[in-house]
Amino acid sequence: MDKWRRQLDDRGDVPGWVLITLMTAGLVAGLWALAGPALGDMFTSALESVSGG
């Protein structure tokens, strides 16, 4: 019976990991949305300077 109770208590950890994963994905998406255009411009500028255009 004690083993069964421990298994039931461990189920509470899953929502915490799901929340951490969703929050991390949200932060990455937010940073990408803010920095995406600037990074794209830097990449284009770097390619133009290497190719001589």
More confident position, 37 or 11? 37
Give pTM, 2 decimals: 0.54
More confident position, 1 or 46? 46
Q: What is the largest CA-CA distance in the chain?
A: 74
Whole-number pLDDT of residue 33: 96
Whole-number pLDDT of residue 29: 97
Tens digit of each residue's pLDDT (9 = 90 or more) over 13-53: 668 889 999 999 999 999 999 999 999 999 999 999 998 75
Q: How far is CA 39 from CA 27, 31, 36, in A?
A: 17, 11, 5
Residue 6 exposure: Cα atoms within 13 Å on the Cβ side = 3
